[in-house]
Structure formats: structure tokens, C-alpha cells
A and B are shown apart, each in its own frame.
Chain A
């Protein structure tokens, strides 16, 4: 029953093949989710746009690195030799939920939305690995998890650094005027 549902999901994702362009769009969506941290610090529109694009590129790079980890693991443990471009074309659609990452900007429910999106991405990756490379779901889980964890850690690192810096700047803006 579960396997049938996962097979169905994989077939749908394979039809939505979009590749590297999707990675860049997901990076941009993730970058947009923290737009208000930039607005909070009263940056100029030009600074905000350049920061958004820079963050989007770094986040896209994190996702590409995670795919490369998957590629290496596939070659090492499943014996599947595949080039990076082909891998991204095949596994890229697993990132489709990430297109909605900009909704993480919503107040308070942001952590819930982010968790759901990351869980969906991981689930998609597992089903696509199973369908494209003919590995069992158990093996697919083991193969997909290291890359997923790396991507998650890199994204957290980028956001944490960016948000902490923004927060410190905001605190320094409020403190001299408001502190007794």
C-alpha cells in the first residue's frame, strides 16, 4: 500500500522533470523567506536585491553539493555511474516543495512550514532514487540521508549567520534610543 503510493508519487515527479533551473528557483524562494530580516535593518532596495541574489546562489550551491553527495554514494554503493547534470535532471523534481519555501516568511508557523517542506523534499528524493536507480526504499533512504543532512546543515548555517547578523544590527538600532 505504502509502496504503491510512493511509486505513484515518483511517477508524478518524473513527469515534472525540470533540473538545474529548479535548484536556482528553490534557492531564490529560500532566500525570499528571509526578506524581512533585510527590511528590518533598513537596507536600501539595491542592497536588499543584491543580498537576496547572493543568498539564493549560496543556497542553490548547498543543494547542488547535496546532489553531488548523492551521486558519489550512488556510485560507491549502488554502482550507478551518472554525471552531475543527468543526476540533477533526474532528482531535481524532488525539490518542487521547496518552491513554496518563501512561505516560511509567514509569522509563527514558519518552523512548521519549513519542517513540512524539508520532509517532503526528503520523501521525494527517496522515491525518485528508488524509481530511477532501482534500489529498494530502505537503500534509497540510506543513500539520500547524508546529502539531505548536508543540505539542511548548510541552509541552517547560511540562515543562522544571516539572521544573527541582522538581529544584532536590529538590537543595536533599538538599544541606543530605547535603553535607559
Chain B
């Protein structure tokens, strides 16, 4: 059998497996919902406590198996891209070899902010509240600073989630289901699955085994998109040094810190990272990266959970990459009172967005 054909068969098998698993999760969730909503008291009373305990145990075991399986499937598609099986893995040297025609705006730019969205992202376009926040921030940026948004943070190719290799079969059907059945339950299940998928990507980026490859692939993608926008490595046309600032919200903070070092090497320019309400491991290569600015809220439980979930950020491990960066004075922390992770007191809310934007622009 020809190697290419074998690879195609293998990938098709992986897609089918991912699809079957996805449908299993979806169907079991939907059937549980239907039973709990429509089952009469007779049916529920027919289940003895022993039966219920058995059902709960089965659900727990299924959950325990599904979590690592979905993680492994996610890693598989990422490695297929790395191996070149899916095509499109560019060589760093080729990205800036053919400069795009620079617009006057690009020519005047000395600092480019790359926005990386949180784990809710499934499309290139940001949700309305995030888009409004970014538009307001853009209007307040100095003339030499440009904002680059609409980047797919959680896919390694330049594709939205529904077109991402490995999982497109599942995601397209899921989003079609959401479109044809616009009820809150289906919407909730879709949102949960999208966020679970993106949380896994954050986990891959934090993993010491898989992180380097995912972060490198993401850095290549960002460099590619920057090149398309007229970004040229090195110095701006006026001779001053170019600078990249990676701005990550929530899980986007992990992706920002993860790819910073690779982007610095590929784009040959200084790279800084900035997170707001960021959830990140701090496991990454941080030594050569510029300042890391953290904008945090005093009412943000999710970002606080990140400090527990990632032991490398604990002061108990002074030799971790993060604690070494703190010791070098590389980390700057800016706390905003009353800021939570999302919702009415989140960073995109009318109440807090001015404070967050001021903290971001003040740090440029």
C-alpha cells in the first residue's frame, strides 16, 4: 500500500473515531437530559438506590475514560499537522521571503498587538462584546501601534474550529445541530463542548511533552498571518525596532506565553506578553521573552484557580520557569478592583472595560 494512501486511511479512521466519540458524548448527554426532564415519578421510583449508584458509577467511569481519550485524540490531530500529513506546515525561512505590499498604516507601525481570545472562541470573528471591547481599545491606541485580531487561537491551521483537521466532521455537525435547533439546551451543550476542546488545547500547550510542538505550530501560524498583513521582521521602515505584543485573555494567556519565544525567533524581533484574567502555566521558555504583564481582577476565581492547577506558579517550586521569571523582575502585575472573569463584572463589561483598556495601553 502506498504510504500516502495508508496515511489517508489512518486519518480517515481517526476522524471517524473522533466523530463516533463525539456523538456518544452528545447522545448520552441528550438522553440524560430527556430522561431527567420527562421521566415520571413512577420511572424514577422504579430505580432502587443500588441501581442509581450503579448508573452513577458507570457515568463516572465513562467520564474518567473519555477525558484522557479526548485529550489523546486532540494531540493526534496536532501531531498529524506536525508530521506534515495534513500539509500546510510552513518553513520559518519562507514566511517572510516574499514581502506583501505594505500599506501606509503597516509602514508606520512599530508595535503590533496580537490578540488571542479566551476558550469560548470557535470562529474567527469574536463575540459582539469582545469585538466592541477590541474596537474601543483600537481607537485608543497610539498611531504607531496596530491591533491584529480575528486569530484562531485554538487551531494550529489558519482555519476556524469547524474546518480544523481531525475534528471538522464532528464540529460541522454540532454547529449545524445548533443552527437547526436553536434552543438553550443545545446551545449550552455546544458551548460546553467548544470550551472543553479549547481547554484541552490549553492543556496541550502547558504539557512539557507536547507544548513545544503546539506552541511552535501556533507561532508559525501567527507569523504567517502577520506576513499577510505586511509585517516585516526586524526594523520598521523608519529604522526603529519592531515589537510584538501578545495579548491573551483567559486561556489565550497560556497560548501567548507558550508561543512568545518561538515567535521571537521566527520574526526576529522582541516579543512581550500581556494577559488579562489569564489562566496559564508559566512552564514555557521565558528567559529571552520581554516583560510579562498580568492584568488581574480581585474577584476572578478562574484566574485564581490557574495558580492552583499549575504547580509551576506556586512559590513552593522556586526553580520553575515562572518563579525564575518573577525573580528576574520580568513579571509586572496590575490588579483591578471589582474585576471578575466574565459576565457583568468581567473585562468586556461596560463597568470594567475602560479600566482594562487603560491598563493595557498604559503598559505599551
A residues engaging B (CB < 8 A)? Answer: 36-37, 39-40, 42, 45, 103, 105-110, 113, 163, 167, 170-171, 174, 177-180
- We find that the number of chain B residues with CB closer than 8 angstroms to chain A is 30
Q: How far is the CA of A120 from the CA of B200 in the complex (A)?
A: 26
Expressed in whole angstroms, the minimum distance between the Cβ of A113 and any Cβ of chain B is: 6
Is B276 on the interface with A (CB-CB < 8 A)?
no
Beyond known contacts A40-B213, A107-B210: 18 more, CB 8 A cutoff: A36-B210, A39-B82, A40-B79, A40-B209, A103-B65, A106-B69, A107-B203, A108-B71, A108-B204, A109-B71, A110-B209, A174-B212, A174-B216, A178-B92, A178-B216, A178-B265, A178-B266, A179-B265
B83 touches A110 (CB 8 A): no
A105 touches B72 (CB 8 A): yes
Expressed in whole angstroms, the minimum distance between the Cβ of A161 and any Cβ of chain B is: 14
Expressed in whole angstroms, the minimum distance between the Cβ of A153 and any Cβ of chain B is: 20
User: 26 A-B Cβ contacts within 8 A?
Assistant: A36-B79, A36-B210, A39-B82, A39-B83, A40-B82, A42-B83, A45-B6, A103-B68, A103-B72, A105-B72, A106-B75, A107-B71, A107-B200, A107-B203, A107-B207, A108-B71, A108-B207, A109-B203, A167-B209, A167-B212, A178-B92, A178-B262, A178-B266, A179-B265, A180-B265, A180-B268
Expressed in whole angstroms, the minimum distance between the Cβ of A173 and any Cβ of chain B is: 10
User: B6 to chain A: which residues have CB within 8 Å?
Assistant: 45
B92 touches A107 (CB 8 A): no
Q: How far is the CA of A163 from the CA of B209 in the complex (A)?
A: 8
Is B91 on the interface with A (CB-CB < 8 A)?
yes
Q: How far is the CA of A177 from the CA of B95 in the complex (A)?
A: 12
A107 touches B264 (CB 8 A): no
User: B204 to chain A: which residues have CB within 8 Å?
Assistant: 107-108
